[in-house]
């Protein structure tokens, strides 16, 4: 190797060392390009997205108890004040709309409010039972539910008790609005999260 | 006798009405007070959340204060449940606790949280200075190293170079 080759080696080694020193700094200085989001999920008895009903049979009876878990994750880049609204719908009631960001008009049967730190995951137990049902001709009317040990009056009618659904909506506190809203703002766009699990009720 | 009975019935009716009105107004009063206290508690929670958000944006470490806020939220849920089950006294009591907890969040020394948050900022500043120093050292030692190496190389190569002597002289 002649002197020019050695010069090249020296300069290269110096550049590599400078890069090695600067890369962590540049990474820390670079703005995050990740999209902020909130996640909502309902998990079954084993804490997985399965086995929501015993024997995976969604034909349920009055008094039968189900142990689910509500999963929440905050990746919004800052602390968030959120509320999970639980609603009981039949097949004809309007579900939340992810295009217009409209929540379901059904009444809230249970509500969980939490403040989540950035990157925090929250698992919240959600045990429920249909307590009282009234038969009106061919229709079944769910008159009360028990959620986490709390009895809640409700009103939801379905033909032969078919196609009921438990709907969970994620509402986020909007500091500009000064209130909760269904979904959250990302740039100029809106995002929302909701979940539904169907069941048929046997009187 | 009939007249007497009528008078008695009228009096009884008036007293019953008074008693009923009094009780109804007491219950309605209790309910409206509970509703108003719970609404106040909700406002306090929102104010507390906004102060936490501000503290975080200022670089504060808010993890402990968020735990306190979540405890207040749990009590708030209990207050709402008490209201729904018409236990107005309990609802009022719990709403008071929510306001207390929210005030504790509001009164938490945000400057202390911000100081804690500044530790991270300081670590980043230190990293910046250290990196700058390291780059300067690399450049300096690289330059000096090159000068030394070049001198050594030239001496070695020049030392090996064959010299031409004039034998004829």
What are the CA-CA distances from residue B136 to residues A21, B129, B133 (Å)? 11, 11, 5
Residues A86 and A115 in one domain: yes
B106 or B119, higher pLDDT: B106
Cα A98 to the chain's mean position, in Å? Answer: 13
Residues A14 and A44 in one domain: no
Which chain A residues touch B145 with a CB distance below 8 Å? 10
- Fold entry, domain B7-108: 1.20.120
Residues A26 and A48 in one domain: no
A154 or B4, higher pLDDT: A154
Q: Tell me which residue range forms the domain holding A51.
A: 37-202
**pLDDT recorded at residue B131:** 87
**pLDDT recorded at residue A4:** 85
What whole-number distance in Å separates Cα of residue B48 and Cα of residue B97? 14
Q: Chain B: give the shortest CA distance to residue A112, in Å.
A: 8
pLDDT tier for residue A99 given thresholds of 50, 70 and 90: very high
Residues A45 and A145 in one domain: yes
Mean pLDDT for the stretch of residues A49-66: 92
pLDDT tier for residue B114 given thresholds of 50, 70 and 90: low
Residues A118 and A60 in one domain: yes
- With contact defined as beta carbons under 8 Å apart, do A40 and A98 qualify? no
Residue among A125, A98, A173, A115 nearest B73 (CA): A115
- With contact defined as beta carbons under 8 Å apart, do A168 and A70 qualify? yes
Name every residue whose Cβ is closer than 8 Å to that of residue A55 and which is 6 or more positions away in sequence.
none
Residues A16 and A45 in one domain: no
Contact residues, chain B to chain A, C-beta under 8 Å: 46, 49-50, 52-53, 56-57, 62-63, 66, 69-70, 73, 76-77, 80-81, 84, 124, 127-128, 131, 134-135, 138-139, 142, 145-146, 149-150, 153-154, 157
Least confident range of A45-54, B27-36, B41-50: B27-36
Indicate the pairing of strand A59-61 with strand A108-116: unpaired
What pairs with residue A150 in β-bridges? Answer: A147
Reduced to 3 states, what is the DSSP secondary structure of residue A103?
Answer: coil
- Per-residue pLDDT tens over the stretch A22-34: 888 787 777 667 7
- With contact defined as beta carbons under 8 Å apart, do A15 and A49 qualify? no
Residues A45 and A2 in one domain: no
Mean pLDDT for the stretch of residues B61-76: 94
Residues A19 and A46 in one domain: no
Residues A132 and A183 in one domain: yes
Mean pLDDT for the stretch of residues A90-115: 95
Q: Chain B: give the shortest CA distance to residue A83, in Å.
A: 11
Percent of chain B scoring above 70 in pLDDT = 78
Asked if residue B146 has pLDDT above 80, the reply is yes
**pLDDT recorded at residue B61:** 85
- With contact defined as beta carbons under 8 Å apart, do B50 and B106 qualify? no
Residues A24 and A108 in one domain: no
Q: Tell me if the pTM is above 0.80.
A: no
**pLDDT recorded at residue B30:** 84
Kindly report the number of other CB atoms within 10 A of residue A79's CB atom.
Answer: 22
Element (H, E) at A191: strand A189-191
pLDDT tier for residue B83 given thresholds of 50, 70 and 90: very high
Asked if residue A93 has pLDDT above 60, the reply is yes
CATH number at residue A143: 2.60.40.10
Mean pLDDT for the stretch of residues B144-167: 78
Q: Which of B62, B84, B153 sits opposite A79 (nearest CB)?
A: B62
Reduced to 3 states, what is the DSSP secondary structure of residue A195?
Answer: strand
Phi and psi torsions of B66, nearest 5°: -70, -35
What whole-number distance in Å separates Cα of residue B169 and Cα of residue B162? 19
Mean pLDDT for the stretch of residues A151-169: 92
Residues A96 and A2 in one domain: no
A141 inside 8 A of chain B by CB: no
Residues A152 and A105 in one domain: yes
Mean pLDDT score of chain A: 92
Cβ of A28 within 8 Å of Cβ of B63? The answer is no
Reduced to 3 states, what is the DSSP secondary structure of residue A178?
Answer: coil
**pLDDT recorded at residue B124:** 79
pLDDT tier for residue B2 given thresholds of 50, 70 and 90: low
Domain count of the fold of chain A: 2
**Beta-strand runs (E) in chain B:** none
Mean pLDDT score of chain B: 83
Q: Chain B: give the shortest CA distance to residue A6, in Å.
A: 9
Is the C-alpha dihedral spanning A107, B70, A194, A167 positive or negative? negative
What whole-number distance in Å separates Cα of residue B4 and Cα of residue A135? 52
């Amino acid at each position: 190797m002649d002197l020019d080759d050695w010069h090249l080696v020296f300069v290269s080694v110096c550049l590599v060392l400078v890069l090695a020193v600067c890369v962590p700094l540049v990474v820390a200085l670079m703005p995050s390009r990740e999209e902020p989001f909130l996640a909502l999920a309902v998990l079954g008895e084993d804490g997985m997205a399965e086995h929501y009903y015993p024997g995976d049979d969604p034909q349920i009876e009055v008094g039968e108890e189900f142990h689910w878990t509500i999963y929440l994750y905050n990746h919004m880049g800052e602390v968030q004040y959120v509320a999970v609204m639980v609603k009981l719908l039949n097949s004809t009631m309007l579900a939340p709309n992810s295009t217009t960001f409209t929540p379901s008009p059904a009444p809230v049967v249970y509500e969980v409010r939490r403040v989540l730190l950035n990157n925090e995951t929250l698992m919240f137990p959600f045990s429920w039972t249909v307590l009282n049902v009234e038969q009106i001709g061919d229709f079944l009317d769910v008159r009360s539910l028990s959620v986490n040990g709390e009895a809640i009056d409700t009103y939801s009618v379905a033909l032969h008790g078919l196609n009921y659904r438990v709907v969970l909506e994620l509402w986020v506190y909007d500091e500009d609005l000064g209130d909760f809203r269904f979904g959250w703002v990302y740039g100029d766009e809106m995002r929302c999260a909701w979940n539904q699990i169907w069941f048929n009720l046997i009187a | 006798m009939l007249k007497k009975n009528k008078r008695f019935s009228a009096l009884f009716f008036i007293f019953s009405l008074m008693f009923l009105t009094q009780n109804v107004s007491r219950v309605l009063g209790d309910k409206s007070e509970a509703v108003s206290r719970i609404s106040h508690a909700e406002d306090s929670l929102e104010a507390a959340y906004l102060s936490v958000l501000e503290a975080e944006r200022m670089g504060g470490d808010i993890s402990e204060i968020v735990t306190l806020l979540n405890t207040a939220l749990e009590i708030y849920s209990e207050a709402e449940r008490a209201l729904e089950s018409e236990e107005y006294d309990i609802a009022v009591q719990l709403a008071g606790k929510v306001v207390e907890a929210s005030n504790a969040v509001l009164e938490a020394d945000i400057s202390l949280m911000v100081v804690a948050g500044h530790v991270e900022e300081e670590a980043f500043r230190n990293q910046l200075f250290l990196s700058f120093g390291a780059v300067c050292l690399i450049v300096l030692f690289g330059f000096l190293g090159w000068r030394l190496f070049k001198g050594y190389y030239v001496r070695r190569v020049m030392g090996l170079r064959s010299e031409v002597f004039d034998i004829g002289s």
